[in-house]
Amino acid sequence: MSSQTINVRILDKDYQVACPDEERRALIESAQILDERMRMIKNSGSVIGLERIAVMAALNLSHELLLAQSAEGSASFDASAIERMQEKIEAQLDQLSAS
């Protein structure tokens, strides 16, 4: 399985990611989706800081994945657990930014 380094741009920053040739398109599409989500969060003005924006985008995408899996019956979904996890992550980020 051959791999190559792909350059992706997310929130005006370039990243190099090693990727198998057959997953190149999926990686590029994933980076585009992540960039769009992070831009939406940044533009909302409710979250400041690249790390916080990235975490919120990841949580939102994970939440959507869980909903999709739950709709298919392949995973159990607990909205309150996601909310608790989000609160814990935000609290930790607050502590990090206060340091």
CA dist., res. 41 & res. 34, Å (int): 11
> What are the φ/ψ torsions at residue 19 (nearest 5 degrees)?
-150, 135
Q: Within 10 A of 2 (CB to CB), how many other CB atoms are there?
A: 6
Q: Residue 83 corresponds to which amino acid? A: E
Q: Do 41 and 4 belong to one domain? A: yes
pLDDT of res. 34: 92
Tell me the residue range of the domain where 5 lies. Answer: 1-46
Q: Do 57 and 99 belong to one domain? A: yes
Q: What is the mean pLDDT of each run of 10 residues along the chain (99 residues)?
A: 88 91 91 93 90 90 83 59 68 66
Q: For position 40, which CATH number holds?
A: 3.30.160.880
Read off the pTM.
0.67
